[in-house]
Structure formats: structure tokens, C-alpha cells
Structure 1
Amino acid sequence: MTARRTVTIRDVASHAGVSMTTVSDVVNGKGRVDPSTRQRVLDSVRDVGWRPRRSARALRSGETGIFALCFPRREHGVQDWLLNADYDMALVAACAAAAVDSGRQLLLAPRPTDLEDLARLDVDGVIIADPQERDPALRILDQAGIPTVTVERDIRRADTWWVGTDNAGGATSALDHLAGRGAVRIALLTADARWSWFADTTAAYRAWCAEHRRRPLIRTIDADDPRTAAAQAVHSLLRLKNPPDAILALPQGSALGVLDAAELAGVDVPADLKLIAGIDSQTLLVSQPPVTAIDQQPMRIAKAAVELLITRVSGADAPGPTLVSTELVVRRSTAGAR
């Protein structure tokens, strides 16, 4: 077989009918370029399949030695994120450690939204955390031929380059625990984001309710303001003729909203209302009462994601998705002790 020739900036310039300086200015966001010319250059970058490489190492070896980790864009401020981002921060730390162990570096970057973002993302591979349904970042990365794996999966994609927690198993374990503590009317708080975590857990909840002949009681809340939205949802739930006696609250921060609503309504947790959070955090450990939570195992997830990306960058076939089991961390919100 004839080796495939490396596509260069010269090919882009020739295809677009401009100078190499103009191509460089467009992809690096420098200089003043006519909008129609800029678009022609970006179209040519896509058409010829050029991947800009700026580092000296990349010019020598074709590799940068860098992986990128991209989280969803946050609508609210950094302060709100930090209060509930134990999982994300553990994921970053563990990904960085795994990347360093493999002789690479980790870049924390925003998701690429267009070819200009892609040109600035000068890396060998990308880990996308919590992809949404038909995630546009994955489409852009696919078009550019950049090896990518995801933490959790895009529910509309059939590929197996992803690592995730056993969401169904975690939900079933939590519901069994609540039932074992005497809960009869268990409600689920999920979110309006189209993430596999929410979709898989909701499906498992419905299946569990059908198996145990329980009526599903689901409320979907705003994923970008989970504490406030959860408090509002629980306030309405507690006013039902037969209110829930237990809640599984999935989104980060939503369990705190449940505690807010319960305190306002004079409902005791756990005597009157048992509570499990879908994702653990230090805040839940020191809340009153401390909240039982599903440990999503971010350290194990991160290590598996980096290992899977190394496999993909090497050109090997997909080994299949990696599922990591969760652990239920029991605290006083379900223990029943005063």
C-alpha cells in the first residue's frame, strides 16, 4: 500500500486560492480577513482534512503528546460549579495522573464548536465528558479525524468508544436500599439534559417500579439550576395527596434542594422522607443530615477513559465499552436514626 501523504497548510491555501499566511491568520484568529475569504478557508480546512499542528514535537513526530478533556459548557458561574463538582474535579485529577503515567499531558479545554475551535485544539486525542444526544462536538471531531472517547455515551451513537458507570445497576441498588428501609412511594428527580446517565437511570427506575408494582413518580428539573429546581419540584410533590416517602435525586446539587424543601415543609429526613443523591460530594457528607449517595467512581472512570483513548490513538479496533460498577455510600438520610 502507498503511504498516505500528509496534508499541509499549502494544500489548504491552494484549495482556497489564498496565501498560506491567510490560512494561518484564519485558523489562529489573527489579522483581518474578509468574512467570505475566512469561510472559504474554513471550508477548505474541512475539505482537505488538514489538522493544524503548531508544536515542534508534532512537526517531528506527528504527535503532540497531549490529550484534551472537555466538559459540558456551564450556564452558571464557577462558584456554583465548585460547590457541586467533586465528581468533575476527581475526573480531571485522575485523567491527568493517567495521562502523565502514559508519558502524556492533559489539557482541560472547552468543547469544540467549529473548525476554529478545532484548530486551537492541537492534541492527539480528546475525552468528551457527558456527551449530549447527537453531540455536535463529536461530529466535529469525527469530521477532523481526531480520535475521541466519551465518558458516558451519546445515546444516538452506535460506536463503542466510551466508558461509563453502570447506571442501571446503581439505580437498582439505590431503589432496593430504599425499599429495604420501608419506603413505598419512591420518587425520581431527573434532569432535562439528554445525557445517557439520566436516560439509563430513568429507564432502570421505570423497570424497577414495574417489577415491584409501584407507580412511577418522576419529576424532570432544570440541569443548570438543580438546587432551586429540585426544591420547587419537591415542594409540589409534598403537597400531593399521597406524597413520596423517599426520593432518588440524580443531578448534582439536587439533593440539597430536596433538603431545603423538606425543611421548609417541616418534613423530617429521614423519618418522613428518605433521600439518596445520584452523585456523591463532600457537601453531602457535611449536610444535615448527611446524605446517602451513589459513588460514580470517577477515579476508575478516568483511568479507563485514558486507557481507551490510548488504544484508539494507536489505531487498534474498539474493544467495546467499559462499564464501571457504582457503590452506594449509606449515610443518615436513609438510615432512619435520629
Structure 2
Amino acid sequence: MPTLSEVARHAGVTPATVSNVLRNRGRVGATTRQRVLDAVDALGYRPHLAARALAEGRAPTLALMVSSIANPFYPEFALAVERAARSSGHFVIICNTNEDPLTGRAYLDQIAGTLSEGVLVTNANLDFADLHATESRGTPIVLCMWERPNEPPGLPCVAVDFRLAGELAGTHLLALGHRRIGAIVGSKASGIHAARYEGFVDAVRAAGVPKGRVKHAPDTIQGGYTAARALLEADPTLTAIFATNDLPALGAMHAAADLGLSVPGDLSVIGITDIQLARESRPALTTVAVPTVEVADLAVDLLRELIESSYGQAGRQLAASVPMRISSPPQLVVRASTGPARQAR
């Protein structure tokens, strides 16, 4: 593999000039610049990103930490992040924690500040103490998809009003005449989906309707399937199921089919997020869409601002100065999985 020095000799310039051309820095004449680029093409030179990171103390990469790459939402979000990062000349490293805090800590220790200039964190089950420690060492952190805009986390974040998403889902079912509604929450009672369920409960209580049965389950299709069967077997009068995410909602539709129920004739189902599978399922899933691409753009822009301003270099900032960006509100997307409530079976 050719080196930067070999490119410089081939072009008849100094290594520093080659570096300036490749980084688009400094003042280099048009003729010299073209000579360097021709030499790069002729020799097939490719920069060594790890070596550059060690030499310069910074890397042209951002890390994106996700809890499970098997969850279809995260590849979709990662694609949006990659597009936003590439437009600013950055690459993206995907760090899959498999919902293991120790794996997440290892990523933070080994990548943050060396192979990546900053870290984007989705719902990756990371210890906040580890995130604060990483930030205090000078590597900016941005939380993506923070679910409670009215409760700042003490770290830079992009927030989405997921409580409103739950409220929109509940209001939609109520407008269709549903009064016997079960709920599937894709986390523990105090977990990341709590705000979504709280919004749903707000909607049904405001209508004078009992909140109904609830099951907490893994945020997967299988988790939704198992929870929905339990709900429907315990209360056959249910006419609708609200799920805090699309995957459990899809599982609920599968459970309905196995129980001989039609969707939405016998049972309406609604989720939250609007992943690609929601659009491709049959029937297509009614859901509350969150602005995934917008959040990715906001998160990358915020992280770049923090990197350029050396946020955290002097230690933790005061809570009042920690930046938060709030996305546009979630939007109800009505598809074929919800319809008017029929009389109790």
C-alpha cells in the first residue's frame, strides 16, 4: 500500500502539501492540487484512518451505539445517521451492545475519543455514569430519541415527545369506539417505553374509560405475540390492543390470526414508530410515526457542534447549559390494522 510520502515524491511536493489537499486545508494552488490528486489516483493511495486518528488526536468518524442491531428500527436509524454524517465528511461506526451495559462500557473505553470524535447513543442500556465519564474525558455524547422532553437527562440530547405518541394512539382507538383496550409495553414498567404508556393512559382516562389490562414484554415480535395471547385469553372482550412499539404490535396481529380473529374486524392493533415492516405487513399497521430522519439530522448536527466547540474538554458542564434539541411532534399514520369497534365477542 503506498504511503503519503510516496504520493508526495510522485507529485513533487511535500507530505504536508499532500495532507492539506486531502483534508481540504491550507492554501494550495489549483495546479499543485491537481498534481497531488493525480498522484493519489495513479498510486491508489488511501488514507489510514486509524493512523490519522492517533497522529491528530481526532478521527473523521462518529460512533453510534444501539441496543440491538436485530431490531429493524436501528438499521433504519443508522442509515439516516450515516447519510447525515457523510454529508459532513464523517464515517459512522456502529456499536451493537446487545443490551449489555458491560459491552457498552467497553465500546466507550476503546472507541470514544480515539476511533471516534463523538458518540451518538440510542436506547442502548448504558449506565449514565459511564456516559458522563466519557464526556468528562473530552468526548462529546449526544442521546438520540430521548423520550421525555420535559425531563432533561443532564446530557446533550435530541428529544421526541413519546408521551404524545401514546396519547395519539389512545385517542385514535377511542375515536373508533373502542372501550375495551389492552396494552403491551415493550419495556419494564419504569423502562424506556414508560412515557408512551403514560400518554395512552392519559387519553383513555380523559375519556372516562378504564385503562384496561397491560402486559410488559420484550420489545420484539415474539414478545408482542406472547403478551397479546395472554391479554386476549384473559379478556376475550377486548376489541383493540395498543403496543408501545411496532414490533410488539406486529406480534399482536400474529397472535390474533392464530386465535382466529380478524384484524381489524375483531381486533384493532396500533403501534408506535413506523418502521418499514409496519408499512409492509398485511394488514398494514396503523402506527404513530416518529421523525426518524429528522432526529438523525438533529443528532449529527448537535454532535458536530459539540465537537467543534470542544464541549466537555474542561469537565462537566452545568446542567442549565446542556443542550437539548426537540424534534417535530409524532404523527398518527392510519392504515388497515384499525377500524370501528365491534360489539364485545
Partner of 1:148: 141
1:115–1:263 Cα change, 3 Å: closer
Which residue is 1:119 aligned to?
110
Residue equivalent to 2:288: 294
User: What is the aligned-residue identity percentage?
Assistant: 23
Mapping of 1:127-166 within 5 angstroms? 127-132=120-125, 134-135=127-128, 137-153=130-146, 158-166=153-161
Indicate the residue corresponding to 2:335 in structure 1.
331
Q: Which runs of 5+ in 2 are unaligned?
A: 1-48, 98-102, 312-320
Residue 188 of structure 2 contacts residue 216 of structure 2 at CA under 8 Å; is this kept in 1?
A: no
Larger mean CA deviation between 144-153 and 308-317 belongs to 308-317
Taking the aligned partners of 2:269 and 2:121, their CA distance within structure 1 comes to 30
Structure of larger gyration radius: 2
The one-letter code matched in structure 2 to 1:129 is T
Which amino acid in structure 2 is aligned with residue 328 of structure 1? L
Where do 1:1-338 residues align within 5 Å?
Answer: 55-59=50-54, 61-72=56-67, 74=68, 81=70, 85=72, 87-111=73-97, 113-114=104-105, 118-121=109-112, 122-132=115-125, 134-135=127-128, 137-153=130-146, 158-193=153-188, 197-217=192-212, 218-223=214-219, 226-241=220-235, 243-315=237-309, 317-335=321-339
Does the C-alpha gap of structure 1 residues 91 and 194 become closer, same or farther in structure 2, counting only changes over 3 Å? Answer: farther
Q: How big is the shift at 1:144?
A: 3.2
Structure 2 CA distance for aligned equivalents of residues 116 and 239 of structure 1: 43
1:189 to partner: Cα distance: 0.8
Extract unaligned runs of 5+ from structure 1: 1-53
* TM-score when normalising by structure 2: 0.70
How far the C-alpha of 1:279 sits from its partner, in A, is 2.5
Structure 2: how far apart are the matches of 1:168 and 1:148?
24
Normalized against structure 1, the TM-score is what? Answer: 0.71
Whole-angstrom distance in 2 between the partners of 1:323 and 1:196: 21
CA distance in 2, matches of 1:236, 1:116: 38
- Residues in 2 aligned to 1:106 and 1:221: alpha-carbon distance in whole angstroms: 31
Native 8 Å contact 2:168 2:288 kept in 1: no
Q: 1 CA distance for matches of 2:199 and 2:126?
A: 19
1: CA distance, partners of 2:230 / 2:108: 43
Could you tell me how far apart the structure 1 residues matched to 2:159 and 2:221 are?
A: 25
Distance 1:116 1:277, change over 3 A: closer
How far 1:131 sits from its partner (Å)? 4.2
Q: Over aligned residues, Cα RMSD in angstroms?
A: 2.9
Provide the secondary structure at the position in 2 that maps to 1:313: helix
